[in-house]
Amino acid sequence: MSHTYKYPRAALTVDCVVFGFDESELKVLLIQRALDPFKGKWALPGGFVHVNETLDDAARRELTEETGLKDVFLEQLFTFGAVNRDPRERVLSVAHYALVKQKDYQAKAATDAANAEWFPVSMLPKLAFDHADIVATALTRLQGKVRYQPIGFELLPPKFTLSELQHLYEAILETALDKRNFRKKVQGFGLLVPLDETQMIGRHRPAQLFRFDADKYKKLKKRGFNFEL
Protein backbone atom coordinates (compact mmCIF):
# COMPACT_ATOMS: atom_id res chain seq x y z
CA MET A 1 0.00 0.00 0.00
CA SER A 2 1.25 3.47 -0.81
CA HIS A 3 0.25 7.06 -0.11
CA THR A 4 -0.08 9.85 -2.59
CA TYR A 5 -0.14 13.59 -2.00
CA LYS A 6 -0.52 16.61 -4.22
CA TYR A 7 2.70 18.24 -2.95
CA PRO A 8 5.92 16.55 -1.88
CA ARG A 9 6.21 16.05 1.87
CA ALA A 10 9.20 15.96 4.16
CA ALA A 11 9.79 12.84 6.19
CA LEU A 12 9.57 13.26 9.94
CA THR A 13 11.84 11.76 12.57
CA VAL A 14 12.51 12.14 16.26
CA ASP A 15 15.99 11.95 17.78
CA CYS A 16 16.91 11.76 21.44
CA VAL A 17 19.92 13.08 23.28
CA VAL A 18 20.05 10.78 26.31
CA PHE A 19 22.11 12.16 29.17
CA GLY A 20 23.47 10.03 31.98
CA PHE A 21 25.78 10.70 34.87
CA ASP A 22 28.31 8.33 36.29
CA GLU A 23 31.43 8.76 38.33
CA SER A 24 31.48 12.50 37.99
CA GLU A 25 31.11 12.55 34.22
CA LEU A 26 28.20 13.63 32.09
CA LYS A 27 27.58 11.15 29.29
CA VAL A 28 25.48 10.73 26.18
CA LEU A 29 24.07 7.46 24.92
CA LEU A 30 24.79 6.74 21.26
CA ILE A 31 23.96 3.90 18.94
CA GLN A 32 25.95 2.60 16.05
CA ARG A 33 23.98 2.81 12.81
CA ALA A 34 23.20 -0.54 11.24
CA LEU A 35 22.08 0.88 7.90
CA ASP A 36 23.08 3.44 5.36
CA PRO A 37 23.38 6.37 5.28
CA PHE A 38 26.24 6.66 7.76
CA LYS A 39 26.29 2.91 8.31
CA GLY A 40 28.66 2.07 11.16
CA LYS A 41 28.77 5.68 12.37
CA TRP A 42 27.62 6.71 15.84
CA ALA A 43 24.31 8.54 16.01
CA LEU A 44 21.52 9.55 18.33
CA PRO A 45 18.77 7.03 18.98
CA GLY A 46 15.71 7.97 16.94
CA GLY A 47 13.63 7.14 13.92
CA PHE A 48 10.56 7.89 11.89
CA VAL A 49 7.37 9.15 13.45
CA HIS A 50 4.28 7.10 12.71
CA VAL A 51 1.41 9.06 11.33
CA ASN A 52 -0.86 8.28 14.27
CA GLU A 53 1.43 8.84 17.24
CA THR A 54 2.44 12.02 19.00
CA LEU A 55 6.02 13.26 18.93
CA ASP A 56 6.46 12.35 22.56
CA ASP A 57 5.16 8.84 21.93
CA ALA A 58 7.45 8.43 18.95
CA ALA A 59 10.48 9.52 20.92
CA ARG A 60 9.68 7.11 23.74
CA ARG A 61 8.98 4.26 21.36
CA GLU A 62 12.26 4.75 19.54
CA LEU A 63 14.13 4.99 22.82
CA THR A 64 12.69 1.72 23.98
CA GLU A 65 13.30 -0.02 20.68
CA GLU A 66 16.87 1.12 20.31
CA THR A 67 18.12 1.32 23.87
CA GLY A 68 15.61 -0.51 26.08
CA LEU A 69 14.92 2.66 28.07
CA LYS A 70 11.42 3.28 29.46
CA ASP A 71 9.76 5.82 31.73
CA VAL A 72 12.48 8.40 31.49
CA PHE A 73 12.39 12.17 31.80
CA LEU A 74 11.90 13.39 28.23
CA GLU A 75 11.34 16.83 26.78
CA GLN A 76 11.15 18.30 23.33
CA LEU A 77 14.24 20.31 22.47
CA PHE A 78 14.15 21.84 19.01
CA THR A 79 13.14 20.93 15.49
CA PHE A 80 16.01 20.66 13.04
CA GLY A 81 14.94 21.42 9.52
CA ALA A 82 17.96 22.25 7.38
CA VAL A 83 17.15 21.26 3.84
CA ASN A 84 20.09 18.95 3.33
CA ARG A 85 20.54 17.49 6.77
CA ASP A 86 19.78 14.04 5.40
CA PRO A 87 21.48 13.05 2.13
CA ARG A 88 18.52 10.96 0.95
CA GLU A 89 15.72 13.45 0.99
CA ARG A 90 14.13 16.17 3.09
CA VAL A 91 13.90 14.87 6.63
CA LEU A 92 12.93 16.91 9.65
CA SER A 93 13.98 15.86 13.09
CA VAL A 94 12.13 16.88 16.20
CA ALA A 95 14.94 16.54 18.69
CA HIS A 96 14.30 15.62 22.32
CA TYR A 97 16.51 15.19 25.31
CA ALA A 98 16.19 12.61 28.04
CA LEU A 99 17.67 12.31 31.51
CA VAL A 100 18.23 8.82 32.86
CA LYS A 101 19.61 7.26 35.98
CA GLN A 102 22.51 5.23 34.64
CA LYS A 103 21.99 2.43 37.12
CA ASP A 104 18.43 1.92 35.91
CA TYR A 105 19.88 1.55 32.50
CA GLN A 106 22.53 -1.08 33.26
CA ALA A 107 20.04 -3.93 33.57
CA LYS A 108 18.32 -3.25 30.28
CA ALA A 109 21.52 -2.58 28.44
CA ALA A 110 22.55 -6.20 28.57
CA THR A 111 19.37 -7.46 26.97
CA ASP A 112 18.13 -4.85 24.52
CA ALA A 113 20.80 -2.52 23.43
CA ALA A 114 23.74 -4.43 22.13
CA ASN A 115 25.04 -1.57 20.04
CA ALA A 116 24.36 1.34 22.41
CA GLU A 117 27.20 2.93 24.30
CA TRP A 118 27.80 5.81 26.70
CA PHE A 119 30.30 8.51 25.73
CA PRO A 120 31.49 11.40 27.88
CA VAL A 121 30.13 14.64 26.42
CA SER A 122 33.64 15.95 26.17
CA MET A 123 34.80 12.98 24.10
CA LEU A 124 32.11 12.25 21.56
CA PRO A 125 33.00 10.44 18.36
CA LYS A 126 32.08 11.93 14.99
CA LEU A 127 28.34 11.76 14.65
CA ALA A 128 26.07 11.08 11.70
CA PHE A 129 23.87 13.78 10.12
CA ASP A 130 23.71 17.01 12.12
CA HIS A 131 23.64 15.11 15.38
CA ALA A 132 26.64 16.98 16.75
CA ASP A 133 24.57 20.18 16.49
CA ILE A 134 21.70 18.51 18.24
CA VAL A 135 23.91 17.37 21.10
CA ALA A 136 25.36 20.87 21.43
CA THR A 137 21.87 22.37 21.56
CA ALA A 138 20.79 19.81 24.14
CA LEU A 139 23.78 20.50 26.34
CA THR A 140 23.13 24.22 26.27
CA ARG A 141 19.51 23.60 27.17
CA LEU A 142 20.47 21.29 30.01
CA GLN A 143 22.95 23.81 31.38
CA GLY A 144 20.30 26.50 31.30
CA LYS A 145 17.46 24.47 32.70
CA VAL A 146 19.31 22.76 35.51
CA ARG A 147 19.75 26.12 37.19
CA TYR A 148 16.11 26.95 37.64
CA GLN A 149 14.40 23.56 37.61
CA PRO A 150 15.22 20.58 39.79
CA ILE A 151 15.77 18.25 36.86
CA GLY A 152 19.24 17.21 37.92
CA PHE A 153 17.75 14.61 40.23
CA GLU A 154 16.58 12.69 37.16
CA LEU A 155 20.23 11.85 36.59
CA LEU A 156 20.88 10.56 40.09
CA PRO A 157 19.69 7.41 41.83
CA PRO A 158 16.76 7.90 44.25
CA LYS A 159 19.20 7.95 47.15
CA PHE A 160 22.23 10.14 46.74
CA THR A 161 24.79 12.06 48.75
CA LEU A 162 25.33 15.79 48.65
CA SER A 163 28.73 15.25 47.11
CA GLU A 164 27.21 13.28 44.28
CA LEU A 165 24.73 16.07 43.70
CA GLN A 166 27.49 18.65 43.70
CA HIS A 167 29.62 16.66 41.28
CA LEU A 168 26.63 16.37 38.99
CA TYR A 169 26.15 20.12 38.91
CA GLU A 170 29.85 20.66 38.40
CA ALA A 171 29.85 18.24 35.48
CA ILE A 172 26.84 19.84 33.83
CA LEU A 173 27.86 23.44 34.37
CA GLU A 174 31.55 22.76 33.81
CA THR A 175 32.59 24.79 36.82
CA ALA A 176 33.85 24.12 40.33
CA LEU A 177 31.44 24.92 43.15
CA ASP A 178 32.16 25.75 46.77
CA LYS A 179 31.18 22.83 48.99
CA ARG A 180 29.80 24.78 51.93
CA ASN A 181 27.88 27.28 49.85
CA PHE A 182 26.45 24.54 47.67
CA ARG A 183 25.20 22.54 50.64
CA LYS A 184 23.78 25.59 52.35
CA LYS A 185 21.83 26.50 49.26
CA VAL A 186 20.40 23.15 48.20
CA GLN A 187 19.46 22.27 51.77
CA GLY A 188 17.90 25.70 52.15
CA PHE A 189 15.08 24.77 49.77
CA GLY A 190 13.89 22.10 52.18
CA LEU A 191 13.42 19.66 49.33
CA LEU A 192 16.14 17.20 50.31
CA VAL A 193 15.05 14.62 52.86
CA PRO A 194 17.85 13.00 54.88
CA LEU A 195 17.40 9.24 55.07
CA ASP A 196 18.27 6.86 57.89
CA GLU A 197 21.02 5.46 55.77
CA THR A 198 24.56 6.32 54.93
CA GLN A 199 26.66 5.45 51.97
CA MET A 200 29.93 3.79 52.85
CA ILE A 201 32.40 3.60 50.03
CA GLY A 202 36.14 4.04 50.30
CA ARG A 203 38.15 4.36 53.46
CA HIS A 204 36.69 7.55 54.81
CA ARG A 205 33.71 8.88 56.71
CA PRO A 206 30.39 7.56 55.36
CA ALA A 207 28.08 10.06 53.68
CA GLN A 208 24.51 10.90 54.55
CA LEU A 209 22.01 9.81 51.91
CA PHE A 210 19.16 12.05 50.78
CA ARG A 211 16.16 11.79 48.52
CA PHE A 212 14.50 14.57 46.58
CA ASP A 213 10.99 15.35 47.76
CA ALA A 214 9.20 15.67 44.42
CA ASP A 215 5.73 15.98 45.96
CA LYS A 216 6.76 18.88 48.12
CA TYR A 217 8.35 20.54 45.11
CA LYS A 218 5.13 20.27 43.10
CA LYS A 219 3.16 21.90 45.89
CA LEU A 220 5.68 24.70 46.30
CA LYS A 221 5.79 25.29 42.57
CA LYS A 222 2.05 25.82 42.46
CA ARG A 223 2.44 28.56 45.05
CA GLY A 224 4.99 30.34 42.89
CA PHE A 225 8.14 28.93 44.46
CA ASN A 226 11.23 29.12 42.29
CA PHE A 227 14.04 26.58 42.47
CA GLU A 228 17.21 28.42 41.56
CA LEU A 229 20.71 27.17 41.97
With contacts defined by CB under 7 A, name the span among 100-108, 115-123, 131-139, 200-208 that binds DNA.
Answer: 200-208
- Dist CA 198 CA 159 (whole Å): 10
Q: Does 214 bind its own copies (CB under 8 A)?
A: no
Q: Cα 168 to chain center, whole Å?
A: 13
Phi first, then psi, for residue 108 (nearest 5°) are: -70, -35
User: Pick from DNA, its own copies, none: which does 220 bind, CB < 5 to 8 A by kind?
Assistant: none
Q: Which one of residues 34, 35, 71, 83 is an interface residue with its own copies (CB under 8 A)?
A: 83
Q: Does 12 bind its own copies (CB under 8 A)?
A: yes
List the interface residues with DNA, window 70-89 (CB under 7 A): none
User: Position 3: which residue type?
Assistant: H
CB of 57 to its own copies, least distance (A): 9
Three-state DSSP string of 191-204: CEEEEEEEECCCCC
User: Pick from DNA, its own copies, none: which does 221 bind, CB < 5 to 8 A by kind?
Assistant: none
User: Pick from DNA, its own copies, none: which does 183 bind, CB < 5 to 8 A by kind?
Assistant: DNA
Q: Does 163 bind DNA (CB under 7 A)?
A: yes
Q: Which one of residues 24, 76, 115, 143 is an interface residue with its own copies (CB under 8 A)?
A: 76
Q: Which one of residues 87, 193, 198, 221 is an interface residue with DNA (CB under 7 A)?
A: 198
Q: Does 78 bind its own copies (CB under 8 A)?
A: yes
Which ranges in 27-178 belong to alpha helices (H)?
55-67, 102-112, 131-145, 162-173
Q: Does 185 bind DNA (CB under 7 A)?
A: yes
Give 106's contacts (C-beta < 8 A, 6+ positions apart): none
Give 10's contacts (C-beta < 8 A, 6+ positions apart): 81, 89, 90, 91, 92
Q: Cα 178 to chain center, whole Å?
A: 25
Our CB check for its own copies shows the closer of 10 and 214 to be: 10
- Dist CA 192 CA 173 (whole Å): 21
**Contact residues: its own copies, CB under 8 A:** 2-12, 48-56, 76, 78-79, 81-83, 90, 92, 94
